[in-house]
């Protein structure tokens, strides 16, 4: 009730991993008026899997509840995306809609493309959706659900590339978590801008970006703020970057 009172007009879609594929969370989202797209892992919510497997075998679902999208790539390759959906599936006392998604990338010769590790470029998953699925919106829903991976990748970058993103750094002050996270995003944004400049690319050479970032941080720590603040760059009212 408190959340409803504070945010009565917000349109929210909760995008989560399989940890949250359970009836209590689905019920909470419905009470708050939030949409959701939740991953269902193989082996979890077996009753849902059984219902969908049975429906998938019927002629109606084979023809009217499936869609294919083909994306042509430069060089003659292509990406084929397939979606099957099942509306009105029961999860305890709640009702959800299921999206089964598969994506495969092919080379120009028809073989399945592989990544740098030699693994096939194949992606397959399933989502629980609060939004009823149709041919007109099925791929849009899948695209929205996959945004979680981009968000997670960015946080992994912030953890591993020296921006000190940790899960537990704000016990003393409840505001510290938000402030520290904002500072991380600002630092990440500045470094991403810097990495596009000719100076940064020449300085990096054949090394990695993380090695360059560590060298820069090490150099900065050796300079007193009183000296740094007098640098010509910081004295300017405007600063200009030139990109390749």
Note down pLDDT in tens along the chain; length 244 residues.
Answer: 555 555 555 688 999 999 889 889 999 998 888 999 999 988 788 888 898 999 999 999 999 999 999 999 998 999 999 999 999 998 888 899 999 999 999 999 999 999 888 999 999 999 999 999 999 999 999 999 999 888 788 777 777 776 767 666 556 777 777 787 788 888 888 888 888 888 899 999 888 888 888 888 888 888 888 888 888 877 888 776 665 5
> Which pTM was predicted?
0.68
Structure confidence at residue 226 (pLDDT)? 86
Q: Note the pLDDT of residue 91.
A: 86
Q: What is the pLDDT of residue 143?
A: 94
- pLDDT at position 45, please? 84
Nearest residue to 83 (alpha-carbon basis) of 137, 8, 159: 137
d(C-alpha 84, C-alpha 53), whole Å: 11
Q: What integer pLDDT is reported at residue 4 of this predicted model?
A: 53
């Amino acid at each position: 009730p408190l959340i409803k009172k504070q945010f009565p007009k917000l349109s929210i879609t909760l995008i989560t991993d399989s940890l949250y594929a359970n009836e209590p969370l689905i019920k909470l989202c419905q009470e708050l008026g939030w949409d959701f797209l939740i991953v269902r892992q193989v082996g979890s919510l077996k009753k849902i899997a059984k219902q969908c497997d049975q429906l998938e075998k019927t002629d109606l679902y084979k023809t009217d509840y499936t869609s294919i999208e083909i994306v042509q790539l430069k060089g003659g390759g292509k990406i084929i995306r397939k979606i099957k959906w099942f509306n009105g599936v029961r999860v305890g006392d709640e009702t959800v809609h299921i999206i089964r998604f598969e994506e495969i990338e092919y080379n120009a010769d028809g073989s399945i493309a592989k990544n740098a590790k030699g693994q096939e470029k194949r992606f397959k998953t399933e989502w629980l959706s609060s939004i009823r699925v149709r041919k007109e919106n099925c791929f849009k829903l899948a695209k929205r659900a996959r945004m979680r991976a981009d968000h997670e990748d960015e946080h992994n970058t912030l953890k591993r590339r020296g921006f000190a993103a940790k899960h537990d750094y704000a016990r003393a002050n409840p505001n510290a978590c938000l402030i520290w996270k904002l500072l991380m995003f600002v630092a990440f944004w500045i470094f991403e801008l810097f990495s596009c400049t000719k100076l940064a690319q020449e300085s990096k050479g054949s090394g990695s970006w993380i090695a360059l970032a560590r060298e820069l941080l090490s150099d900065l720590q050796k300079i007193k703020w009183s000296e740094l603040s007098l640098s010509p760059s910081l004295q300017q009212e405007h600063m200009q970057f030139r990109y390749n």
